[in-house]
Structure 1
Amino acid sequence: MACAFCSIITGEVAAHRVFEDAVAVAFLDARPLFPGHVLVVPRDHVPTLTELPEADVGPFFGRVRLITAAVERGMAADGSFVAANNRISQSVPHFHVHVVPRRRKDGLRGFFWPRAKYADEAEAAEVAGRLRRAISDAAPGR
């Protein structure tokens, strides 16, 4: 099955593009949370953030930053919500960042899942240790 975002990038499928260059393509989300909701995608097919080559991270997120400023300015928004799913809840398996214009009292309520505290400091320390070990394994020498 063809990637929906790759089809937009190549022009096979129409979309309301707001930006494109050699690094990224940005277009209006077909089902926006609010008008001006933009998706920013890497031009090359990359399924998840963790698969985006390290050399591409800075240039890609530079474009996300540019689009975020433009969405806020262009939509006269009070701010923005910038988010990306990684596998879970990722409706299209091509990495993408949502840039959503926000206004005070717009009805969007932060994150949509229940939040809780760690049971105690020992649990928090154990979780932090697991993450430090995973980071060390993924990026030796850092």
Structure 2
Amino acid sequence: MEHKPVFLLIEDNLIDQLVITQLLKKVLDVTETEVNVANNGLEALQWLSAHQDLHQLIILLDIQMPVMNGFEFLNAYDKLGLEFKKAIQIYVLSSTLDQDDIKKINENNYVTGFLNKPLPAEELKKTIHRLNT
């Protein structure tokens, strides 16, 4: 049985939440795409702890957020169980131009890829297609 990926968008900006959610549904061409939203890294960790039975999870992670930013989330994520993390891919979504941030993102073992904001539909479509093949 094929499992559809579930998305967890970790983003504090309400407009970005709406735009990215709609873009995901349009790119995947299905209205039933499950997109969950966390406003910061702490909310995301709480969501993850309640959903440890997922078969395929794609996290879209913003870096600059209040309460717990993306880098703090990645540090806390490191402490989660290996078996659980096998079903998860993390893509950082950011408009940062800070070379130190970009270097930290690219060097993180848990980050599958880096996507620039505003999120280009074609780039997202290619990324999602690669995940499903």
TM category (shorter chain) comes to under 0.3
Tell me which protein shows more helix as a share of its residues.
Answer: 2
Give the TM-score normalised by the residue count of structure 1: 0.26
Give the TM-score normalised by the residue count of structure 2: 0.27
Which structure: larger Rg?
1
